[in-house]
Amino acid sequence: MASLIAILDLKGKPLIQRSYRDDVPAAYIERFLPIILDLEEEGAQVTPCFTREGVNYLHIRHSNLYLLALSKRNSNAAEIILFLHRLVSVLVEYFKELEEESIRDNFVIIYELLDEMMDFGYPQTTESKILQEYITQESYKLEAQVRPPIAVTNAVSWRSEGIRYRKNEVFLDVIESVNLLVNATGNVVRSEILGAVKMKCYLSGMPELRLGLNDKVMFETTGRTARGKAIEMEDVKFHQCVRLSRFENDRTISFIPPDGEFELMSYRLSTPVKPLVWVEAAVEHHKGSRVEYMVKVKAQFKRRSTANNVEIYVPVPDDADTPKFRASTGTVQYAPDKSAFVWKIKQLGGGREFLMRAHFGLPSVRGEHDSMDKRAPITVKFEIPYFTVSGIQVRYLKIVEKSGYQALPWVRYITQNGDDYSLRTALEKGSAPIVPM
Amino acid sequence: MSGLRAPPRKGENYELSADLNSEYREKRKDAIKKVIANMTVQKDVSGLFPDVLKNMQTDDLEQKKLVYLYLMNYAKTQPELVILAVNTFVKDTDDPNPLVRALAIRTMGMLRAEKILDYICDPLTKCLRDDNPYVRKTAALCVAKLYDLKPELVIENGFLETLQDMIGDSNPMVVANTVAALSDIHAAAVAAGSSSETFHITSTILNKLLVALNECSEWGRVGILNALSRYETTDEREGEHICERVVPQFQHANGSVVLAAVKVIMIHMRHVKSENLNKQMIRKMAPPLVTLLSNPPEVQWVALRNINLLLQKRPDLLQNEMRVFFCKYNDPLYVKVEKLDIMVRLAGDSNVDALLSELKEYASEVDVDFVRRSIKAIGQTAIKIDAAAERCVNVLLELIGTRVSYVVQEAVVVMKDIFRKYPSTYEGVIPTLCANLDELDEPEAKASLIWIIGEYANKIDNADELLGIFVDTFTEESYPVQLQTLTAVVKLFLQKPDGSQGLVQRVLNTATKDCDSPDVRDRAYIYWRLLSTDPGAAKAVVLAHRPPISLPRTTVSPQLLEELLGEVSSLASVYHKPEETFVGQGRIGIDTVQRKSADLADDRAAAQKALQTVAIGQQAENLLDFADDGADDGQQPSGLAATTMLTSTPAAANLLSGTSSNPLDDLVSIFGNASLSAPSVQPQSAAPLGGFGFSMGGAPSPMPPQTPSVLQAASPPMQQSGQEDLLGLF
């Protein structure tokens, strides 16, 4: 329960605010940034929630903005923080980008949204598709009789009635993101697969859908034997349209989908994964003159698959200069803003292996403060289409609508890097791990 | 009206006023937008109130919303003018369009002007029975708004009863908002000191809620789950039933639904006796908790703080999941810090190697704060897992080898704690530590090294030389270092009297004559007298064997832990502090105390809380610093456990390392061990003390623990006897 929601710029000035309860005066917004600066000065860490003089400040960052909620009670922190994130995604869907300018240009509609998304501090409708049905950017006249979409309060609050398509189609994307951490000795320290089933639904009426996966637990509970491989999902999360009690009972995924694009489910597997794209770098550091890298990339998946748009980010010292590259495939660029160089390979076939060399100059004098090397890991981006690491498969997607139309489901699989696919760089032999101050 | 206010004849507001009264619709609407824009940038446009008000009656929904928004902002400043708007509001609640009806009732509740409250009741009654669920769900919350302003009106008009009926509404969104409104009213009533339960959840309501739970929107589920957590049951089967119905919510994509479900389960699991079912619940809880870590960092942080609490209660919860808490390079510091803490909690014989290699990695990152915390975590691991202590020490030695100043200093501090846990085990390390003497410039690191030198004075050949350095600069050092130097030199003298007589004479002289800290001076006097009257007693006091430290399993008291677990995902659970400490004026509000004492059912718990407070007070004064490890009942962290370097109370942390500012502690701690001949004396003396502390506290009103300190009463037998005495008082 939030008493007040505000969006602030980086100087702590409120760009827009909405008060939902009287117990926290708006003046407290202006105290937010000074408190943060004080905390930073004292060397204390700034956490997303903190309390001062009986007022609780809950905040998130989005690009150059703070989104802040104030409360005086022992409120539900998770709910408020998630609401702020949801507010960001709704505003992004409305304005493409959420920044100072888009807020100033659209304050009227933001007020309307804030009014509709929260009442008396309690989150209400936060589905941007439903909101867009009755809060639009073009001003409308009351003669047109805008009414609250039935969906706002419907048991099926995510889908409106009377949707019609000439061609009924469903697109399923199964996307698996691999998070992986390899330590300097080349061992996988941590790995997980974050999977998501995304849908694009172009279906008429109120269709009932049932999705069948090669879910091991489901096979076990129903006593059926799987043809081929079955996978064990550690944790599954569903869009609110999925009937959770049904899933709990017999692992059936049944739902009435929202219209258009949405994420039906996500799942997690922490089975050990072999690094699909393996990178190793040998670094030769000649203090005060140059640093040389030799990077090897290896595609550790079957030959019939190909990784697209492979990008390998290798960190270099901040003060490196005059880059020279030589690669057996792809292109290499220096990205000084990221203190790294990027090796881009458009297509990397399964089982293939490539090498590249980089050479940088280093200034002969180093400042006191940067004597400590930032030891950022190598990060990798890639996409492997028609392939899932976990082996998940869509067995069927049944679509039943009372009008009895035939609908076509399309399924695509893809495996890509997660937000943390990193390989720690090995230290060169003979040098101390950390440079003395 | 506007004539009375005499608006300026020029300026922006004057022009706006003219535009607001224009005969052209578009011009008027643009003017309203400009007014709102000015309001947004916090220019004062309250003077335009009457002009804006004239534009309230319109067919244009957007314009209506803007005018309403303006009214909400300025109604409080112009209460006498708001009354002019009432008519339009009431008319709008009869509009054929449900959006307009809902908008009108929503805004009326937000005006917060005393004068119009009487006019709100009729439309509200109507809207609560509206056929459109959108209007009903808005009206439901409006009752809570009205209660906030004028509770009598809600009660007189029977709105509470209407809300109770609406829990059975056919529409899940209406049910959700009704539950939110009733819970809000309940909280307000409790805060105002009402003793009757405004929103009592009966078993009929329970069933309605369980049905609505599966159908309503994500936020509605959070509210319903919160209400479910308030349901009181003593029936085991009912508890099981609730758990079973709530468990599917673990699969919800919204993290706050997951945490709310965890809360309900944690509360109702208390009544479930079947160990099997309990285990099953815990097993189902683990994967969704781990998945919360794929959320944005702020949400992760809230989740981590709660996971930390859950682990204190159920250490088996995430047994095999330590790796998911490994820090990512780009995690914000606040996330990394929480992850470190949880990693140490999850450390065990099987995963300690992986943990240590991670911690070593973190110790070479750039962020100084994070590096220090990682080194601390290495020390905590050493203290937690005996079998891994040697590996930890080796990692620390490697880190000291880097000679990075802050790394070395932190490692020295950590080594001191390892020496305290494993006395005389790692003496071989001492030369390496002493070699870094010159590098140390932080008081804590210096004090730690001096303590180590004093403790092992008889094994360090040049101990007198090393301590001499600190005696030379005695007056320039900070107090903790002075105290430590003092004690260490006395220890040295008692172990190796020849050759250190001059040094001890010098330090006592300086400390008693030239030192401006009374603590240092007093301690010096005590040592001096001890040494001059009875060196044997001095030996028994200063060189007393101290029990080893251990890592506390909980960072908060067991009672507080239970309280916080009942509030999972709330701010209290995030801060790890009881609600009373941050709600209200930031201190323990009188009203809270009164409320609690009024609640007779809470008396027993309150008595315990009070006892705890008393015990904390005593501990803080170091009066009862004797810990009886053997009698530890496993529930309460022993007094000693509480004094590891983990605690945020420096006095306690320093207590056993001898850096305490209280010179009595050495004396007292010796009694704990030396006076074994008369153990019965202590419990007896403790009980009167407890009683005394309590009566000093005044009325038998519960005093909530002021800080969630880990400090506990020293020994359970003593506490029990104290408790009996106190209960006798009631």
Q: 3-state secondary structure string, chain A? A: CCCEEEEEECCCCEEEEEECCCCCCHHHHHHHHHHHHHHHHHCCCCCCEEEECCEEEEEEEECCEEEEEEECCCCEHHHHHHHHHHHHHHHHHHHCCCCHHHHHHCHHHHHHHHHHHEECCEECCCCHHHHHHHCCCCCCCHHHCCCCCHHHHCCCCCCCCCCCCCCCEEEEEEEEEEEEEECCCCCEEEEEEEEEEEEEEECCCCCEEEEEECEHHHHHHHCCCCCCCCECCCEEEECCCECHHHHHHHCCEEECCCCEEEEEEEEEECCCCCCCEEEEEEEEEECCCEEEEEEEEEECCCCCCEEEEEEEEEECCCCCEEEEEEECCCEEEEEHHHCEEEEEEEEEECCCEEEEEEEEECCCCCCCHHHCCCCCCEEEEEEEECCCCCCCCEEEEEEECCCCCCCEEEEEEEEEEEEEEEECCCCCCCCCCCCCC
Cβ(B86)–Cβ(B71) below 8 Å: no
Q: Which residue has the higher pLDDT, B598 or B12?
A: B12
Q: Which of A33-37, B131-135, B695-699 has the lowest mean pLDDT?
A: B695-699
Between chain A and chain B, the number of residue pairs with CB atoms below 8 A apart is 270
Mean pLDDT of B318-326: 91
Q: What is the pLDDT of residue B7?
A: 53
Q: What is the pLDDT of residue A376?
A: 85
DSSP string, B352-392: HHHHHHHHHHHTTSS-HHHHHHHHHHHHHHHHH-GGGHHHH
Q: What is the pLDDT of residue B639?
A: 34
Query: Which of A81, A130, A180 is best to mutate for the B interface (most B CBs within 10 A)?
Result: A81
CB contact under 8 A, A148 and B326: no
Q: Is B320 on the interface with A (CB under 8 A)?
A: no
Residue A147 — very low, low, confident or very high, per pLDDT cuts 50/70/90? low
Q: If you average pLDDT over every residue of chain B, what do you get?
A: 80
CA-nearest residue to A135 within chain B is: B62
- Using the predicted structure, report yes or no on whether residue A369 has a pLDDT greater than 50: no
Q: What is the pLDDT of residue A221?
A: 79
CB contact under 8 A, A143 and B59: yes
- Using the predicted structure, report yes or no on whether residue B707 has a pLDDT greater than 60: no
- Using the predicted structure, report yes or no on whether residue B2 has a pLDDT greater than 60: no
Q: Is B593 on the interface with A (CB under 8 A)?
A: no
Mean pLDDT of B389-418: 93
Residue B198 — very low, low, confident or very high, per pLDDT cuts 50/70/90? confident
Q: What is the pLDDT of residue B620?
A: 41
Tokens (6 digits) for A66: 């703070």
Q: Which of A54, A154, A189 sits opposite B586 (nearest CB)?
A: A54
Mean pLDDT of B535-539: 88
Mean pLDDT of B33-42: 88
ipTM here: 0.87
Q: Residues of B with CB below 8 A from A81's CB?
A: 298-299, 302
Q: Is B253 on the interface with A (CB under 8 A)?
A: yes
For helices B368-384 and B405-421, angle between their N-to-C axes, nearest 10 degrees: 20
Mean pLDDT of B540-544: 88
Mean pLDDT of B538-554: 86
**High-pLDDT (> 70) share of chain B, %:** 78
- Using the predicted structure, report yes or no on whether residue A323 has a pLDDT greater than 80: yes
Spatial distance between the Cα atoms of A319 and A338, rounded to a whole number of angstroms: 12
Q: Is B117 on the interface with A (CB under 8 A)?
A: no
Residue A285 — very low, low, confident or very high, per pLDDT cuts 50/70/90? confident
Q: Which of A135-144, B379-388, B480-489 has the lowest mean pLDDT?
A: A135-144
Q: Which residue has the higher pLDDT, B22 or A2?
A: A2
Q: What is the pLDDT of residue A138?
A: 59
User: Which has the closest alpha carbon to B306: B317, B322, B294, B321?
Assistant: B317
CB contact under 8 A, B251 and A16: no
Q: What is the pLDDT of residue B391?
A: 95
Q: Residues of A with CB below 8 A from B218's CB?
A: 126, 240
Residue B722 — very low, low, confident or very high, per pLDDT cuts 50/70/90? very low
Q: If you average pLDDT over every residue of chain A, what do you get?
A: 87
Q: Which of B290, B302, B354 sits opposite A81 (nearest CB)?
A: B302
Residue B593 — very low, low, confident or very high, per pLDDT cuts 50/70/90? very low
Q: What is the pLDDT of residue B11?
A: 77
Please tell me the pTM assigned to this model. 0.83
Q: Is B323 on the interface with A (CB under 8 A)?
A: yes
Query: pLDDT per residue over B82-135, tens digit each?
Result: 888 888 899 999 998 888 999 999 999 888 777 788 889 999 999 999 999 999
Residue A146 — very low, low, confident or very high, per pLDDT cuts 50/70/90? low
CB contact under 8 A, B253 and A46: no
Q: What is the pLDDT of residue A374?
A: 61
Q: Which of A15-19, A46-50, A291-295, B497-501 has the lowest mean pLDDT?
A: B497-501
Query: Which of B25, B62, B166 is best to mutate for the A interface (most A CBs within 10 A)?
Result: B62
Mean pLDDT of B633-659: 38
CA-nearest residue to B221 within chain A is: A240
CB contact under 8 A, B251 and A240: no
Query: pLDDT per residue over B232-279, tens digit each?
Result: 887 889 999 999 999 999 999 999 999 999 999 999 988 888 889 889
- Using the predicted structure, report yes or no on whether residue A351 has a pLDDT greater than 60: yes
CA-nearest residue to B184 within chain A is: A1
Q: What is the pLDDT of residue A140?
A: 44
Spatial distance between the Cα atoms of B364 and A375, rounded to a whole number of angstroms: 8
Residue B563 — very low, low, confident or very high, per pLDDT cuts 50/70/90? very high
CB contact under 8 A, A375 and B174: no
Residue A226 — very low, low, confident or very high, per pLDDT cuts 50/70/90? low
Query: Which of B61, B105, B146, B147 is best to mutate for the A interface (most A CBs within 10 A)?
Result: B61
**High-pLDDT (> 70) share of chain A, %:** 90
Q: Residues of A with CB below 8 A from B219's CB?
A: 79, 83, 122-124, 126
CB contact under 8 A, A119 and B138: yes
Q: Is B298 on the interface with A (CB under 8 A)?
A: yes
Mean pLDDT of A264-285: 90
Q: Which residue has the higher pLDDT, A71 or B724?
A: A71
Q: Which of B37, B255, B403 sits opposite A436 (nearest CB)?
A: B403
- Using the predicted structure, report yes or no on whether residue B158 has a pLDDT greater than 50: yes
Spatial distance between the Cα atoms of A23 and A55, rounded to a whole number of angstroms: 10
CA-nearest residue to B222 within chain A is: A79
Q: Say which residue the tokens 């956490």 belong to.
A: A47
Q: What is the pLDDT of residue A183?
A: 87
Query: pLDDT per residue over A394-405, tens digit each?
Result: 999 999 988 889
Residue B612 — very low, low, confident or very high, per pLDDT cuts 50/70/90? low
Residue B645 — very low, low, confident or very high, per pLDDT cuts 50/70/90? very low
Mean pLDDT of B649-655: 40
- Using the predicted structure, report yes or no on whether residue A157 has a pLDDT greater than 90: no
Q: Which residue has the higher pLDDT, B200 or B587?
A: B200
- Using the predicted structure, report yes or no on whether residue B718 has a pLDDT greater than 50: no
- Using the predicted structure, report yes or no on whether residue B379 has a pLDDT greater than 70: yes
Q: How many residues does chain A have?
A: 437
Spatial distance between the Cα atoms of A283 and A320, rounded to a whole number of angstroms: 14
Q: What is the pLDDT of residue B63?
A: 87
Please tell me the distance in Å from B133's CA to the nearest CA on chain A: 6
